[in-house]
């Protein structure tokens, strides 16, 4: 009897692997430009300006921005000037002033955008201030004092700040008269008085000899 031939086992055909669909790369976000800003450090709004007929204007904004300053008063027509901030955004310039109220408009802008930042200042210019005076009334320069405790008397502007030898304060009254008490060292004492009022400073110096009584 012939041996039966087994039927061939069918070979499995692998299913084709699907080709993945490439993922689209999202577009890079458009960088958001920095917002234009303007900070004026000096002067402050409503400041009263004494001295020479100009004021230093300084502040900060975006680096390399242009800063346009328009200024006018009742006595002069409107004028303007332009400066450019540096790489840190700092700017500084001088603005002329006329007597009375001066209105200053400061505008910052950058060529890369249409944004602007603006600030207004109203400044009162009084003209050249009266020079600050400081007088030491008592004691006289070169005096010899028998007591170690000395009362120093002087006069200056009522609103001035007075300091003796850089450490002892004195407070002028409504007429500008001030007093201060200090201790003397035996021998020659140099007494330095400084008065300050806004941007003005006045100095006065006397030399006092302290020789205690021998009795």
Based on the domain organization, do 184 and 203 belong to the same domain?
yes
What was the pLDDT predicted at 12? 60
What was the pLDDT predicted at 68? 96
pLDDT at 23 over 80: no
Percent of the chain with pLDDT over 90: 64
Residue 16 lies in a domain: no
Residue 43 lies in a domain: yes
What was the pLDDT predicted at 24? 66
- Average of pLDDT values for 143-149? 93
Residue 6 lies in a domain: no
What was the pLDDT predicted at 56? 95
pLDDT level of residue 112 (50, 70, 90 thresholds):
confident
* Residue ranges making up the domain that contains 70: 38-127
Based on the domain organization, do 140 and 176 belong to the same domain?
yes
Question: Higher confidence at residue 2 or residue 126?
Answer: 126
What was the pLDDT predicted at 137? 96
pLDDT at 16 over 90: no
Q: What is the average pLDDT value for the chain, to the nearest integer?
A: 88
pTM: 0.51
pLDDT level of residue 2 (50, 70, 90 thresholds):
low
Residue 152 lies in a domain: yes
Based on the domain organization, do 93 and 43 belong to the same domain?
yes
What was the pLDDT predicted at 214? 73
What was the pLDDT predicted at 199? 75
- Average of pLDDT values for 29-44? 85
The pLDDT tens digits of the residues spanning 55-99 come to: 999 999 999 999 999 998 876 778 999 999 999 999 999 999 988
Based on the domain organization, do 65 and 108 belong to the same domain?
yes
pLDDT level of residue 206 (50, 70, 90 thresholds):
very high
Based on the domain organization, do 91 and 123 belong to the same domain?
yes
DSSP track, the chain: -PPPPPPPPPPPPPPPPPPPPPPPPPPPPPPPPPPP-EEEEES-TT-EEESSSEEEEEEEESTT-EEEEEEEETTEEEEEEEEE--TTSEEEEEEE--SEEEEEEEEEE-TTSS-EEEEEEEEEEEESPPPP-EEEEES-TT-EESSSEEEEEEEE-TT-EEEETTTEEE---TTSEEEEEEEPPSEEEEEEEEEEETTEEEEEEEEEEE-----
Residue 24 lies in a domain: no
pLDDT at 208 over 80: yes
Domain count, the chain: 2
Residue 63 lies in a domain: yes
- Specify the CATH number for the domain of residue 153: 2.60.40.10
pLDDT level of residue 9 (50, 70, 90 thresholds):
low
């Amino acid at each position: 009897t012939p041996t039966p031939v087994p039927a061939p086992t069918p070979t499995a055909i692998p299913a084709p692997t699907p080709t993945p669909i490439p993922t689209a790369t999202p577009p890079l976000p458009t960088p958001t430009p920095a917002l234009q800003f303007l900070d004026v450090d000096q002067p402050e709004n409503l400041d009263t300006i004494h001295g020479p007929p100009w004021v230093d204007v300084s502040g900060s904004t975006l680096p390399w921005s242009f800063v346009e300053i328009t200024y006018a008063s009742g006595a002069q027509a409107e004028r303007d000037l332009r400066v450019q901030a540096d790489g840190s955004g700092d700017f500084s310039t001088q603005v002329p002033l006329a007597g009375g109220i001066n209105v200053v408009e400061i505008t910052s802008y950058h060529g890369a955008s249409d944004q602007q930042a603006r600030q207004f200042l109203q400044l009162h210019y009084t003209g050249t201030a009266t020079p600050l005076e400081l007088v030491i009334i008592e004691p006289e320069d070169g005096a010899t004092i028998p007591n170690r405790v000395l009362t120093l008397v002087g006069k200056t502007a009522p609103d001035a700040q007075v300091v003796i030898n850089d450490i002892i304060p004195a407070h002028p009254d409504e007429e500008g008269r001030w007093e201060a008490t200090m201790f003397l060292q035996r021998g020659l004492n140099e007494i330095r008085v400084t008065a300050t009022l806004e941007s003005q400073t006045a100095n006065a110096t006397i030399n006092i000899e302290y020789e205690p009584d021998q009795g």
